[in-house]
Amino acid sequence: MIDDRGQMRTVEALLASGIIAVAMWSMINLTKTSDPYSAKARNELEKYCYDFLMSLAEREVFDRVVFNSTRVRTGWEGLMKNLLNSLLPANILYNMTVFNMTQTGETVMEVPLGESISNASQGDFSMAKEAAAADITYTTRNRWVLKIHLEVGRG
Amino acid sequence: MMLKRVSSWKRGQIILVMSILLITVILLVSTIIYLTSTQHLFFKYNPSREIILSIDADFHRALTRILANTTALYSEWAEIDGPRRNANITFSYWVLSTQAAYAGKGLNIETQWIDEPIQESRTMELVVGGSKKNLSYPERRLQDRLLKLFWYRPNSISAIGADISIDATDQGVIGWRATHIVLLNLTITSIRVEKNEGSVYVDVVVLRENGFPVNDLHKTNFEIYLFNPDAPQGVYPWIREKMDNQDQVVYNGDGSYTIRLVPDFNPGKNSPFWTFYYQFVIVRVKDSRGIIVEAYSYAGMEYIIQENAIEPYYPNNPLKTDETYLFELLPNGTIFWFGWPINPGNSPPIPMPPVKQVRVYINDTSTPTGFREASYQAERWTPDYKLPLFNYAEWRRRLGEGSKLAFLVDYPPGVYQRKVRIVWAEDCDATPPDYMVDIEYGEDEVRINNKVYTMKLKVGPGSYELDYSLSIVNGDRRHTEYALFGYDVLRFSGGYWFPKRLPYYMNMSSGRTWEVPKPGPIRMYAFRNSTQVYETFERGGQLTHTIIDDELLHTEIISVAYDVNYFTWTFSGTWLRNTNLNYSTYITMINGNDTDSSVFPTNRVRWGSVYSTNNKYKKYINGSFASANRQHRSYDLNINNDASYSYFLTMYNQYFGTSIFLTKETLRSLTSDGRDQGWIWTSADYARRVMSYDSIYFNLNNIFNIRKNKGDTFLIKAAGMIHSGGSPRDSFSDSVTWANGDQYRVSDAVKIPDMYYRMFTGENNPTIIGVPEILYYAGDWI
């Protein structure tokens, strides 16, 4: 007569191991969904974006850079690029577009004011670890309303 | 068997299963704890706070920009409607733009104008030369007008304010609301002089919204004007300080600045600047935001002006219903009546507010405040005040160089003194006075209605063919014509042409012989300035004309004021070459035309009176006109009787009368050649009645020439008046004093010109009683 008690122990152990493995696998998968530190960094980047733009607005940077007296300064984009290069951290990618809110009758359109100012290509942004964007409006001294769109990414 | 089975389960399987369950529970709990603790990191970031804050900040910025722009435009344009319209447009543009800019974020932005107070009512102190003035300012509010400017007071404010509310339903923000007020508040607190160091010290306090001090002002932020009492005629006396190295601006903290000024016009040690005029200061501040505010150290002045022409001679006389003076006030504080200054000493100057801010009040015990608004207008003349500018009545400008403030002051029966307040309103929404003088431009004449009469001024090219220059017609269509200066007589085959030469002017673009711009609220000017003379001569038995332009420089101005029964005329002439005159007439009054004798007989005057220097008949010579060509008073023209005269000539019937009044200086000019006369006659054409002042009468038999040298000047100042009439009585005959007609010992009609002529002589001018009071009141007056 064969004693099958040892075999049953083995089967039970295997089953228990399987259950434990499945449970652990499930837990690992659950905790692997995203990296909270990465998510936090992106949020902070967006907030930083707003804070940065509001800081520029408070210091009337858009008046001083974009305008020369009452006219749009020729080549203001270069000045703005120099400014952004000096104010933003080195590893930050940026792309700024300034729109003039142009009123025709009761309609207001966003008309780009000059070229976008950027230190990166679109490809660079798609490869960035985190990216964020912000928009603010800015009323100039000669009473133009500008919309400033800023995209930033961390490489 | 049963016991055996139970025993085997306990030993292995229970432990194993329990272990597995325990591990599973631990793992699950730890996972839940982990997920819970990190869950907030996975929330999608909602930037609503930043968006709303950025909109709010830009709203504040937009309001600041609007206020800066509006104050700059208002300061330049001197009217608020255009700048306010711009402000409203910018405000709407901002709302639309912001809504468009955030269109994808589900925002609803609403704005609303507010009626918040920008400064509570308060008392402030102004120290002028050590003397404290407590100034009570009323509460100032935004009045749901977006922005309000309260300027031209020692405490002045520029302010803007509005509410903004934002609903961001997509982002879970509902009902966010904020009130924004932006302002600049300037207060002049002290003015003093240090004569020894030649300085004026002005203390000011500059605050922004919420009472925060403005601490970043420099010399370039201040624009300061001081008054130069020694400025010569024709030089604008308000001098803007250069704010150069001599001048200093010191910040004392809490928004307080002390400004030390060394007047650029270098007043002498004995200049009244150091004792009186230093206290008149204009301070304009532009802060780093571009907002402007303008403060004056005083708010107006009050005079007591006494008339001396009628009440002393006709006290409490009910006939004195038309004694109204048109005073003219220059920026240097000098008040004129008919070209005569009446100020005895130092008078407060007029600063440079926009014309529409100026108000003139005269005391009136029948009103609750004791004052009522008088009729007035601001005018602009050439800097030397020789001629009004073509747009002299334009109100969209500041008082400034060449400005003149004209105002009417009446003296009813029994009243001989009037308090006159001249102030400038602090609320920049003040409106200009109504324009009350009507004008109608016809092809050959301009018709000016001043409520009492209509003046028909002949302005067409054909006016030189007429024998009069203008006509005044009252509401009953009764009229008299006036002919203005002319000289020389043409003897031609058909007889004599009076006068041969007339001052000529032609505006080639308008085709008019006078400049007659749109009148102001209470006065119309017609004027001309030319060296041309229209000369009539005979060629081939026909009369023709030519223009000569090297004989006489002539400048003349006709003034018609609202609701008075007179007009004034000033003529100044300069001979440009040596000229011999055989005739010269200053001003003539003519009544009658081809129809009035039959159709409108009441329009035709019947009698005339002369204020004569011949005392034979108690100074007045009253007589009747003829029904055909006759001489009544004349020298050397058919008759040679008494043609003496004085300050007025008048003609009348029972229904109305008209007069000419002369100044004493004009009388002197008339008599300067010893060939003058008050000529009274009835004409051949329609038996018109004619009275004129001639400086050189014409002698049919012995044509003489009176020489005028190059450079000789003469001035004629006269007034014409339409008034009630009357009848003479107690007739007699004396051809020496009135030929070819009845003469009368008494005339009721002469009372009126006798009552009013002193207004125009220059001998009984109004005077200012006492020292004009400088007003520091706050708020507006009435």
Among A24, A58, A134, the residue with its CB nearest the CB of B47 is A134
Residue B396 and residue B335 share a domain: yes
Query: Rounded CA gap, B553 and B485, in Å?
Result: 13
The verdict on A57 touching B (C-beta cutoff 8 Å) is yes
Among B19, B54, B93, the residue with its CB nearest the CB of A145 is B93
Residue B339 and residue B202 share a domain: no
Residue B245 and residue B273 share a domain: yes
Rounded CA Rg of chain B: 39
Query: Measuring CA to CA, which residue among B400, B405, B385 is closest to residue B353?
Result: B400
Give the chain A residue nearest B44 (alpha carbons).
Answer: A43
* Residue B66 included in any domain: yes
Name the pTM for this structure: 0.88
Among A16, A23, A39, the residue with its CB nearest the CB of B27 is A23
The verdict on A108 touching B (C-beta cutoff 8 Å) is yes
Both tokens of residue A26?
A: 């499930």
The DSSP annotation for B212-250 comes to -B-----GGGEEEEEE-TTPPTTS-SEEE----TT-EEE
What residues contact residue B271 under an 8 Å CB cut-off, 6+ apart?
A: B229, B230, B277
How many CB atoms sit inside 10 A of residue B609's CB?
Answer: 27
Residue B352 and residue B262 share a domain: no
Residue B322 and residue B177 share a domain: no
Query: Measuring CA to CA, which residue among B676, B641, B679, B674 is closest to residue B660?
Result: B679
Three-class SS state of B49: helix
* Residue B523 included in any domain: no
Instruction: Name the domain boundary from B277, B296, B315.
Output: B296
Q: From start to end of B299-416, where are the E strands? A: 300-306, 324-329, 335-337, 340-341, 358-363, 371-373, 376-380, 403-410
Q: Which residue has the tokens 């967006």?
A: A46
* Residue B342 included in any domain: yes
Identify the H or E element spanning B602.
none
The verdict on B23 touching A (C-beta cutoff 8 Å) is yes
Write down the CATH number for the domain with range A37-154.
3.30.1140
Q: Which residue has the tokens 């100012």?
A: A117
Give the type of residue at B120: E
* Residue B563 included in any domain: no
The verdict on A145 touching B (C-beta cutoff 8 Å) is yes
The verdict on B290 touching A (C-beta cutoff 8 Å) is yes
Measured N-to-C along each axis, helices B48-77 and A36-58 cross at an angle, to the nearest 10 degrees, of: 10
What is the structure's pLDDT at B44? Answer: 67
> Among A13-17, A96-100, B472-476, B540-544, whose mean pLDDT is lowest?
A13-17
What residues contact residue B674 under an 8 Å CB cut-off, 6+ apart?
A: none
Give the type of residue at B286: K
* Residue B613 included in any domain: no
Instruction: Name the domain boundary from B296, B323, B350.
Output: B296
Q: Given an 8 Å threshold on Cβ–Cβ distance, is A20 in contact with B23? A: yes
The verdict on A109 touching B (C-beta cutoff 8 Å) is yes
Q: Which residue has the tokens 């000229």?
A: B579
Query: Rounded CA gap, B77 and B90, in Å?
Result: 18
Residue spans of chain B under pLDDT 70: 1-13, 40-45, 778-782
Residue B230 and residue B343 share a domain: no
Query: Measuring CA to CA, which residue among B580, B533, B554 is closest to residue B713?
Result: B554
Instruction: Return the residue in B41, B146, B216, B287 with the most chain A beta carbons within 10 A, the one to mutate for interface testing.
Output: B41
Query: Measuring CA to CA, which residue among B768, B777, B779, B782 is closest to residue B300?
Result: B777
Whether B381 contacts B389, CB under 8 Å: yes
The verdict on A129 touching B (C-beta cutoff 8 Å) is no
Largest CA distance in chain B: 179
> What does the H/E/C string look like for B158-203?
EEEEEEEEEEEHHHCEEEEEEEEEEEEEEEEEEEEEECCCCEEEEE
Among A42, A103, A137, the residue with its CB nearest the CB of B58 is A137
Residue B313 and residue B285 share a domain: no
Residue B239 and residue B151 share a domain: yes
Instruction: Name the domain boundary from B265, B296, B327.
Output: B296
How many CB atoms sit inside 10 A of residue B568's CB?
Answer: 21
Residue B348 and residue B224 share a domain: no
The answer, yes or no, to whether residue A3 has pLDDT greater than 90, is: no
What is the structure's pLDDT at B350? Answer: 96
What is the structure's pLDDT at B585? Answer: 96
The DSSP annotation for B643-683 comes to ----SEEEEE-SS-EEEEEE-HHHHHHHHTTSB-EEEEEE-
Identify the H or E element spanning A77.
helix A76-87
Among B30, B31, B98, the residue with its CB nearest the CB of A137 is B98
Whether B633 contacts B679, CB under 8 Å: yes
Residue B88 and residue B221 share a domain: yes
Among A42, A53, A101, the residue with its CB nearest the CB of B97 is A101
Whether B326 contacts B523, CB under 8 Å: yes
Number of folded domains in chain B?
2
Give the type of residue at B627: S
Give the type of residue at B139: E
- Chain B residue numbers with beta carbons less than 8 Å from the beta carbon of A46 are 45, 47
Q: Which residue range is the domain that position B381 belongs to?
A: 300-435+766-775
Q: Given an 8 Å threshold on Cβ–Cβ distance, is A37 in contact with B41? A: yes
Query: Rounded CA gap, A106 and B268, in Å?
Result: 62
Q: Which long-range contacts (CB under 8 A, 24 or more apart) does A60-63 make?
A: A60/A141, A62/A98, A62/A138, A62/A140, A62/A146, A62/A148, A63/A140, A63/A141
Write the pLDDT tens digit of every residue in B635-681: 877 778 888 999 999 999 999 999 999 999 999 999 999 999 999 99
Backbone angles phi, psi at B36, to 5 degrees: -65, -45
Backbone angles phi, psi at A146, to 5 degrees: -105, 145
Whether B166 contacts B107, CB under 8 Å: yes
Residue B416 and residue B310 share a domain: yes
Cα-based angle B338, B341, B343 (whole degrees, multiple of 5): 135
Identify the H or E element spanning B108.
strand B107-113
Q: Given an 8 Å threshold on Cβ–Cβ distance, is A139 in contact with B58? A: yes
Measured N-to-C along each axis, helices B48-77 and B81-101 cross at an angle, to the nearest 10 degrees, of: 160
Both tokens of residue B299?
A: 């708010």
Identify the H or E element spanning B157.
strand B155-168
Residue B283 and residue B380 share a domain: no
Q: What is the mean pLDDT of residues A4-18?
A: 77
The verdict on A12 touching B (C-beta cutoff 8 Å) is yes
The verdict on B100 touching A (C-beta cutoff 8 Å) is yes
Write the pLDDT tens digit of every residue in A32-62: 555 656 667 778 888 999 999 999 999 999 9
* Residue B661 included in any domain: no
Query: Measuring CA to CA, which residue among B405, B372, B402, B368 is closest to residue B386?
Result: B402
Give the type of residue at B328: E
What is the structure's pLDDT at B292? Answer: 98
* Residue B706 included in any domain: no
Q: Given an 8 Å threshold on Cβ–Cβ distance, is A110 in contact with B100? A: yes
Q: Given an 8 Å threshold on Cβ–Cβ distance, is A40 in contact with B50? A: no
Q: What is the ipTM of this complex?
A: 0.83
Query: Measuring CA to CA, which residue among B643, B386, B650, B633 is closest to residue B525?
Result: B386
Give the type of residue at B192: R
The verdict on A117 touching B (C-beta cutoff 8 Å) is no
**A/B interface, count of CB pairs below 8 Å:** 115
| Residue ranges of domains in chain A | 1-33, 37-154
Backbone angles phi, psi at B629, to 5 degrees: -60, 110
Rounded CA Rg of chain A: 28
What is the structure's pLDDT at A33? Answer: 54
DSSP state of B765: -
Query: Rounded CA gap, B55 and B763, in Å?
Result: 71
